[in-house]
Structures are given as structure tokens and as C-alpha cells.
Amino acid sequence: MRRGYIIGVISLAALFMTSCHSGEADSPSRFGRFYLDELKNQSVSERRYQEVSFEKLFVVPTTTGPFLYAPGAVFVDHQGYIYVVDYGVMKIQRLSPSGEYLTTYGIEGAGEGPGEFLSITDFGIRGDSLVYLVDSYKRKIVSFSVDGTFLEEKSLREDFRAAQPMKYKQTATGREYVLFGTGPVLLETRSGGDIDEILSISSLVNHETMGSLGTEGWLNTYGENLVYLLSRYPLLLQYRPDGSLVYARTTVDFGDDFKEPEVEERILGGLPASRLVGHYYHLSPVTIEKSKLFVYSVIPPRTKPSGAIDVYDVTSGDYLYSMYLPEGDPFSWTIYQNERVYQVKDSTVVVWKIKL
């Protein structure tokens, strides 16, 4: 597909964003709200499915484990320990690789005290010792040891009201990446006392009223680099710690029928509000294993199946192949890790062994 097509199909949106470290090209390509002068399309526009088989290993909770009220997210460390976010009680449970309950992260309370939180918009584990989560409502990062002991919480800005962290990741060395929902910066990197912008909200047109609408997505780290996958756009980015762009790639979903989400004005509670109307491409975080990047993609309903696990080369962003889901698409959260697929369904987490 020609690169120039991207410019032709995108309407003049109210928001545009420039990479603070983009090249010196005179006419950078425009993709949605991003100006990217190094944007490249995938060499294929249709999925190539690899034949796989699945074996159901177990379902969480087990008969002896605690009840899950509203599980909505799962993450897994490289040793296979499972972490389930239960939004019904706003806590995280840690389970063994075979599903036995081990401990809970989160202290009873109203979200005001240390170790308490009111929302969980991202989470992760650094090495084998530190579990962290983002409370975007209280604008803080909360950390625990793996045994459930509260360690610390911190705000990322002195004026916490001006910056709402939405996504957050740490590398093995402790470098931090933050995606903000409000404030002067959209995406930044932190190491020790050094803070560097990668993308600035000040580069948005009319950002006072529209903010960073449309830039929601998922972060992961590859070594010291940052991988950024957008939810609303078929777009995959990787940045170095200094903020320079490694690559900007369209995902396999990009095609002739791509339509940029539209802004819809609404009244909520008597106040004006805006929301994006359009297709979600990616509903779960990206996972990285052996230089491969695994993405749960939502395929438009007109096609069957309506969901797939897409696999990319994390170093180049090249699309490699796709896998069908174990049980169709009644799942809102699906990730691949350690040759297993984890899917949230109702009040359970179903764990599958995958065989290539």
C-alpha cells in the first residue's frame, strides 16, 4: 500500500501531534493525530494464520482460591506467576503458575492512605521483586514487594492535579516511562532525577479543550527502549531512552477501509464532554517474548473470527503471523506469555497451553 495513501485518507482533525525527536523531513507523513516522518507500512495487508492447538490447563479461581468479583486484567511475569486485577474490590491477586492463590496487593481503605488506591489503569513487575500499579484517579504510582508488603507510593508531578498518569512501565534498570492523560506532557522517560519528554501535549492543536484524546494505548519495554501501541489507531511505535524514534509502523489492520475515529460532543451530567467514536484495534497490553511482540487485535465484526493474536518482530515492527483465539471472542482481555494464552471471561481467568 502506498505511503501517500495515508495522507489522503486522514481528514483534517482537531488534534495533531509531532514527535519531539522526529527527523528533518520537509513533508512528514500524517497518521491520525501524529506527524511521523519515518512511518512505514506493513508489507502485507491480510493476516497469515499459523496453525496452532490449545490445551485448557485450568481456570482461576480454583475451588480453593478466593472468589473473583470482577476480574478485568491479567499480567504474567517471566517465571509464570499470574497477577489478576479484580476491579470489583480494586485489588490484585498473585497466583502460582498453576493457579494457586498466594497473596493480595492492596490495603483496605478509601484510597487515601499508603497502599490504598481507587483505580488501576496499569500495572507491572520489575524483575522478581517489585510489583507496581498506576492509580490514575489519585495520580500516583503504588509499589509492593512480591510478598504483598507495601513499599511506597509517589506522585510524578509536584502539582498532581496537572498530570494524570494513565500508563507506566519500568525497565530492569529502573528507567520509567509514563503516558499521561492530562498535563503538559503526553509521554516521558525518567531515570534517576532526569526527566525527558518524548511527546509533548503542547504540540497539539487546540489542546486546551481536546487534551490527549485519541492517544490512549499500551506501553511495554524492550531492553531500555519503549514500545507504544495505540488502541484507537493501527499504529506501533518504538522509542529509545533519549526519545528518538526507532520505528513507526502501521499494524496489519491498516487498510483501504481505515477511518480515523471522530470526535463526538456530548452532555454528561449537564456538562459538555467529548468522546471518540470509532473502532478499537487493541484492547489488551502488548507482551514481548524472544524478540517477538504479541498483540491481541480486535477485528471488525464483518469478518470472522473477530479477534486474533498478531505477532510482530519487536526489533523492526515487521508483521510475522497471527494465531486464532482458543475460544472465539467472548473475552475482553487476552494476553500471550510463556507459551500460554490468558483470557478473562465473566468472573474467571482461563489459562491455555499453546502448541505451535
pLDDT of amino acid 283: 86
Nearest to 61 by CA among 352, 344, 355, 289: 344
Maximum mean pLDDT: which of 28-32, 35-39, 145-149, 155-159: 145-149
The 3-class SS string of 274-326 reads: EEEECCCCECCCCEEECCEEEEEEECCCCCCCCEEEEEEECCCCCEEEEECCC
- Residue 49 CB neighbour total at 10 angstroms: 12
Please write the tens of the pLDDT for every residue from 51-79.
999 999 999 987 666 788 889 899 999 88
Nearest to 115 by CA among 95, 138, 96, 94: 138
Residue 252 pLDDT > 90: yes
pLDDT of amino acid 95: 93
Q: How far apart are CA 160 and CA 157, in angstroms?
A: 5
Residue, of 1 and 351, whose pLDDT is higher? 351
pLDDT of amino acid 22: 35
Residue 320 pLDDT > 90: yes
Prediction pTM value: 0.85
pLDDT of amino acid 199: 81
- Identify how many contiguous H helices and E strands the chain contains and give both numbers: 2, 30
* 74 contacts 58 by C-beta, under 8 angstroms: no
Q: What is the mean pLDDT of the chain?
A: 81
pLDDT of amino acid 113: 66
Please write the tens of the pLDDT for every residue from 119-161.
899 999 887 778 899 988 888 899 999 888 889 888 876 654 5
pLDDT of amino acid 178: 92
Residue, of 269 and 175, whose pLDDT is higher? 175
Alpha carbon separation from 244 to 32, 196, 201 (Å, rounded): 20, 11, 17
Residue 100 pLDDT > 70: yes
Which set of grid coordinates corresponds to residue 337?
A: 506469555
Residue 267 pLDDT > 90: no
Residue, of 7 and 183, whose pLDDT is higher? 183
Question: Per-residue confidence at 110, pLDDT binned at 50, 70, 90?
Answer: low
Residue 206 pLDDT > 50: no
Q: What is the mean pLDDT of residues 100-128?
A: 80
Question: Per-residue confidence at 350, pLDDT binned at 50, 70, 90?
Answer: very high
In terms of phi and psi (left: phi > 0; alpha: psi -120 to 50; beta: otherwise), the region of 283 is: alpha
Which set of grid coordinates corresponds to residue 29?
A: 507523513
pLDDT of amino acid 265: 81
